[in-house]
Amino acid sequence: MQAPAVQPSPSDPKRETILRHARRAFTADGYAGARIEPIARDAGVSTATLYALFDGKAELFAAVIEDAALDFDRLMRRVRAVDGPARERLTHFSVTYAGFMADPFIRSVFRLVMAERPRFRDVAMTFFDRGKADFGKVLIDALRELVERGELRIERTSWAAGQLMGMIEHPVFFMPLVTGDEVMPVRAVDQIAADAVETFLARYGV
């Protein structure tokens, strides 16, 4: 089952309210457990109004994921490489990236998308690819500049970028994600980022 494409629409307070309450329902109960009537009631609209904006539950779910992706875009804008020496640039990226990946909101939406991937494969893959490509490009571009300036020695910048991001993602995102937040990192987010940069520079620094 594939969700229909969601077309951008002008800002509509009722639509935004419905999406906010639908996100809560889907993340709490999953696609199968969430019901249209309670979502409409919690949003303060009639079911007729909801169906006028969304042609069924599948379209509402796809719209919720698209809306979450837009929220991600706003958060992603904070994750940018700054100019300066290698350690400074990589630390800035790593700290902001770790903060993004450690956000409970991020995990809740990822859990929802992962759970419903068999039903909404296209929606899920677009969601995953979008974030990874955006973050990866920022870091890869920074690494290439640092290589050109002679501060790093890297043959495959895409591999190196994946290694740095992976050292951050594993403790702050994947461990809590797969354990339902029962296992959380012992180290502070800033320390995880600093340790990742130290390990990275030990491998690729000049």
pLDDT at 133 over 70: no
Render pLDDT for 149-204 as a digit per residue (tens, 0 to 9): 999 999 999 999 999 999 999 999 888 888 888 888 889 999 999 999 999 999 99
- What's the confidence (pLDDT) of residue 188? 94
Q: Which token pair is 197?
A: 């940069």
- The Cα 68–Cα 7 span in angstroms is 14
Q: Is the pLDDT of residue 61 over 70?
A: yes
Q: In angstroms, how far apart are the furthest CA atoms of the chain?
A: 64
If you write DSSP's letter for every residue of 186-200 in order, what string do you get? SS-HHHHHHHHHHHH
Q: Is residue 140 within 8 Å of 161, Cβ to Cβ?
A: yes
pLDDT-derived band at 79, boundaries 50, 70, 90: low
Q: Are 60 and 54 in contact (CB under 8 A)?
A: yes
Type of residue found at 83: D
Question: What whole-number distance in Å separates Cα of residue 59 and Cα of residue 63?
Answer: 6
Angle at 109 between CA 37 and CA 137, to 5 degrees: 140
Tokens of 198: 């130290």
The Cα–Cα gap between 206 and 196 comes to 17
Rounded Cα gap, residues 26 and 47, in angstroms = 17
DSSP 115: H
- Residue 134 near residue 76 (C-beta atoms within 8 A): yes
Which pLDDT does position 117 carry in this prediction?
79
Question: What is the token pair recorded at 164?
Answer: 């740095």
CA-to-CA distance for 94 and 126, rounded, in angstroms?
A: 24
Tokens of 181: 């937040």
